[in-house]
Amino acid sequence: MNALLSLIPPVGKAVIVLSVISTFFFSARAQDARLVAKQVFPSVVMLDMQNASHQPLRFGSGFFVRPNVIATNYHVIENASYGVAKVAGDTQTYVIEGTIGIDKINDLALLKLADANRPALTLADISKMEVGEEIFAFGNPKRLEGTISPGIISGLSLRELGGENLIQISAPISSGSSGGPVVNRSAEVIGVAVSSLVSGQNLNFAVPSSLLAQLLAVAKVVSPLDSSSSSSPASPDPKAPAQNRTRGATTESLASPDHREMKRLTN
Domains of the chain: 126-209+239-264 (2.40.10.10)
User: pTM of the predicted model, to two decimals?
Assistant: 0.76
DSSP state of 81: S
The values of phi and psi at residue 120, to 5°, are: -95, 150
Q: Let me know if 103 is a catalytic residue.
A: no
Q: What does the pLDDT read at residue 69?
A: 97
Q: Let me know if 253 is a catalytic residue.
A: no
∠ at Cα 178 (174, 179), nearest 5°?
A: 145
Q: What is the rounded CA–CA span in Å between residue 89 and residue 45?
A: 9
Q: What does the pLDDT read at residue 127?
A: 87
Q: How many other CB atoms sit within 10 Å of the CB of residue 23?
A: 10
3-state secondary structure of 202: coil
**Which residues lie across from 101 on neighbouring strands?**
110
Given a cut of 80, whether residue 230 has pLDDT beyond it is no
Q: What is the rounded CA–CA span in Å between residue 211 and residue 228?
A: 19
Give the pLDDT confidence of 8-30 residue by residue, as tens digits. Answer: 565 554 545 455 444 444 444 55
Task: Please tell me which residue in 43, 103, 107, 149 is annotated as part of the active site.
Answer: 107
Task: Please tell me which residue in 48, 61, 75, 174 is annotated as part of the active site.
Answer: 75
Q: How many other CB atoms sit within 10 Å of the CB of residue 5?
A: 10
Q: Let me know if 54 is a catalytic residue.
A: no
The radius of gyration computed from the CA coordinates of the chain, to the nearest angstrom, equals 21
